[in-house]
Structure formats: structure tokens, C-alpha cells
Amino acid sequence: MTQAAALAIGVQRAESPGLWTLAWRRFCRDRVGLASFLIVVFFFGLMVASGLHLIAADWSKEVGVNFAPPTFVGPAISDSGPTAPVAAESPGIRPSADPGEIEIVDPLAGVLAEIRAASGAAAAADAQAPTLVFGGDRWGRDVLKKTIKGTETSMFVGLVAALLAAFLATVFGALAGYYGGWIDDFFNWFYSVFTSIPYLLLILAIAAVLNQKGTLTVILILGLTGWTGIFRLVRAEYLKHKVREYIQAADAIGASHARRMFVHILPNVSHVILVQLSLHVVLFIKSEVVLSFLGFGVGVDTVSWGSMLNEAQSELILGYWWQLAAATLAMALLVTGFSLFTDALRDALDPKLK
């Protein structure tokens, strides 16, 4: 019995832990990495729960008064009394060279707000709370729920676009690095074409051409332009791996090109792709926020951190800072968490680097 147990342990010992087991052990030792991992998991859970309508499904309900302050600030002392003059002079502080060019973004917003506020007030005049947990927006919607919804949009866009970019980059990089020759030349040419146009300019040009808003459009724009950085690394890894002994061995036992590329080499370079994927999620979340802010991003009925910041810009002048704070905090927390997680992931997967 004890002998058998000892034997079992012996057998276990003989089996050396694999790359992922080792990486996981290294990762668990990294406290900052583990904490950031929890943040990422938390946001991921938030995204899934919100996507399944488990939380924040009623984010568009006008539950509070217009611009309801956060509960910890307390209700507004006088309703819209002091804000009116500021609102009146706000166009004056924008002495634009060609007037009306910037302010004219949404001429109906004010009217719409009034209509909505009126109808909302008529429907649920008694249900509107004077304060909300993290304040309310122009229509009295709960900023906290809105932020959760925005988290869902921004994170979903970032994740899917990064997956798309990583997929393209892996296929391109594998083909270019593995085959070499004219295929390599072709993909390198493709790469240099894409990288000779500055990133934001390329994104804006494509946004201009597509000329339609929507989550899918943003994902396509970011994914189709963002593969270049990953491509270069994947290609370099394939160049390195294709001459190694294990690939010669795979060749000797008759593995096909596709099998050698994606069954034999891919698992050995997947750590590079994983780190890059994580890095690009952050990059794409930031880009989505900018695109949506400029109005070339998600649709008008979708809320994202970018569209929240867009609303917050004019709200801030009136003194309503909570929507700005909520979107900024959520984004800063996720991006910091994700960046630290990426660093920890890189350290865990590639211990030679540090």
C-alpha cells in the first residue's frame, strides 16, 4: 500500500510540469498580478451579467430627477435655479473660429431631453428619486447602471476586436514566417502598407468610408487595422520555430504543412499571442472610447464609456461631474488592472525576460 503510494508519487515526480502549469505557478506567486487578475475577472463577470440582462437591464429607465446628484453628496438644494444662467452662457465660452461647427453636433438633444423629461415626469412623477447611488444623467437615468452597460459595450468591443486582430495576425504571421519566400514578401508588403498610415488616421479614414455607426462596425475597424503589431511578432516566432528539430521530426513522420503550422508550432508560440491579445484589448478599449466620443463609434442607442464621456463634457460645465467620474473610474480601473495583468502574464509565460 505505502509502496504503491510511493510509486505513484514517484511516477508523478517523473512527469515534469508543463509550460502552462509552470506559468500558472509563477503567476500565483505574483501578488500584484493576482489582484489585477481578480479585477479583470470582476469586469468580465460584469460584462457577461450585463450582456445576459441579469444586471443593469433597466438602465434606460428614468428613475431619478434630471441630473440627480449622488447619494453621498445629497439632493440638489434648488432645482435648476443656479444652473440656468450658466447654461445660457455656455455657448459663449466656445469662441470657435467658425461658429456653430462644434456645438451643432446634436441640435435636437436639448429638445429631445425636454420632451423625454416631460413624458418621463408625466409617467413616473412620483417614482423619481431626488438622489441616486452615483447620480443621474440628463434624463435621470442611473449613472451606475449606465456605467455597467458602458462597461459591457466597451469591453465587448475590446475583446472581440482583439480576438479578430489576433486571429488575422496569427494566420498571416504563420503563413509568412512558415513558408517564407514570396508569401513572406507579400505579407510584409501588406504590413508596411498598413503601418505607413498613422493608426488613428487609418481608423478615421475607414470610419469615414463605412459611414455607419454600430458595435459591429467598430469591431471591424479596430480588428482589421490592429493586426500589424501581433503579425510581426508571430512571424518572427514562426521563423525561429520552423527550423527546430521538433518540426523536422514532424516532417519526418509525414505531418502536413497545415498540421506543422497550427498543431505543432502554434502551441509553442501561443504565449506570445496571448500576451499581445491582452495588450490589444486595452488598446482597443481606449480606441473605442475615442471613436465613440467623436461620434464614429457605437450607435446612438448604445451606451459606451466614450458616449458617456461625450455627454459628460457638456455636463461638467453645468457642474454635474458624476457621469465623468463614473466613466473615468470604471475605465481607469479596468485598464490599470488589464495592464498589470498583461505584465504579470508576460512575466509568468516568459521568465527569461526579467
Partner 1 sequence: MLAYVTRRLWQTIPTLLGVVLLVFFLFTWFGGDPAYLLAGKISNPEQIENIRRQLGIDRPAYIQLWIFIQQIVTGDFGESWSTNEKVSAIFATRLGPSLTVLVPLLVIDTLLAIAAAMLVAYVRGSLTDRMVMIGCTIGQSISILVYIIVFQYVLAYQLGWFPVQGWGSGFAENLFRFSLLPIIVGVIVSLAPDTRLYRSFFLDEINQDYVRTARAKGMSETRVMWVHVLRNASIPIITNVMIQLPGLLAGAFLIERFFSIPGVGREVILAVERSDFPVIKAVTIYVAIATMIINLIADLLYRVVDPRVQLK
Among 57, 113, 206, 236, binds partner 1 (CB under 8 A): 206
Task: Pick the closer one to partner 1 by CB: 189 or 246.
Answer: 189
In 3D, which of 143, 162, 153, 163 has the Cα closest to residue 46? Answer: 153
Using CB under 8 A, pick the residue from 123, 197, 216, 263 that binds partner 1: 197
- Asked if residue 67 binds partner 1 (CB under 8 A), the reply is no
Q: Which of 312, 326, 344, 345 binds partner 1 (CB under 8 A)?
A: 312
Binding-site member from 198, 243, 252, 254 for partner 1 (CB under 8 A): 198
CB of 253: closest distance to partner 1 in angstroms? 39
Tell me the number of residues near partner 1 by CB under 8 A. Answer: 51
Other CB atoms within a 10 A radius of the CB of residue 346 amount to 20
Distance CA(56)–CA(146), nearest Å, equals 7
Contact status: 174 vs partner 1 (CB under 8 A): no
**Grid cell listed for 345:** 502574464
**Residue 214 in contact with partner 1, rule: CB under 8 A:** no
Q: Rounded to the nearest whole angstrom, what is the least distance from the CB of residue 95 to partner 1 in the complex?
A: 5
36 within 8 A of 337, measured Cβ to Cβ: yes
Does 317 participate in binding partner 1 (rule CB under 8 A)? yes
- Least distance (Å) between residue 332 CB and partner 1: 5
- Determine which residue in the list 208, 243, 252, 253 makes contact with partner 1, applying CB under 8 A: 208
C-alpha distances in Å from residue 16, one per residue of 11, 12, 13, 270, 304:
10, 8, 7, 20, 46
Our finding on whether 196 is near partner 1 (CB under 8 A) is yes
Residue (127 or 193) nearer to partner 1, CB: 193
Q: What residues between 269 and 298 interact with partner 1 by CB under 8 A?
A: 286, 289-290, 293-296
Query: Residue 335 interacts with partner 1 (CB under 8 A)?
Result: yes
Q: Where does this chain touch partner 1 (CB under 8 A) — which range of 43-51, 72-80, 273-281, 329-337?
A: 329-337
- For position 93 contacting partner 1 by CB under 8 A, the verdict is yes
| Least distance between partner 1 and beta carbon 348 (Å) | 18
- Binder among 189, 249, 259, 300 for partner 1 (CB under 8 A): 189
Establish if 211 lies at the interface with partner 1 (CB under 8 A). Answer: yes
Residue 219 makes contact with partner 1 by CB under 8 A: no
SS3 annotation, the chain: CHHHHHHHHHHHHHCCCCHHHHHHHHHHHCHHHHHHHHHHHHHHHHHHHHHCCCCCCCCCCECECCCCCECCCCCCCCCCCCHHHHHHHHHHHCCCCCCCCCHHHCCCHHHHHHHHHHHHHHHCCCCCECCECCCECCCCEEHHHHHHHHHHHHHHHHHHHHHHHHHHHHHHHHHHHHHCHHHHHHHHHHHHHHHCCCHHHHHHHHHHHHCCCCHHHHHHHHHHHCCHHHHHHHHHHHHHHCCCHHHHHHHHCCCCHHHHHHHHHHHHHHHHHHHHHHHHHHHHHHHHHHHHHHCCCCCCCCCCHHHHHHHHHHHHHCCCCHHHHHHHHHHHHHHHHHHHHHHHHHHHHCCCCC
243 contacts partner 1 (rule: CB under 8 A) = no
339 binds partner 1 (CB under 8 A): yes
Q: Is 102 in the site for partner 1 (CB under 8 A)?
A: yes
Which of residues 10 and 95 has its CB atom nearest to partner 1 in the complex? 95
82 forms part of the interface with partner 1 (CB under 8 A): no
Q: Which residues bind partner 1 (CB under 8 A)?
A: 93-97, 101-102, 189-190, 192-198, 200-202, 204-211, 286, 289-290, 293-296, 305-306, 309, 312-313, 316-317, 324, 328, 331-336, 339-340
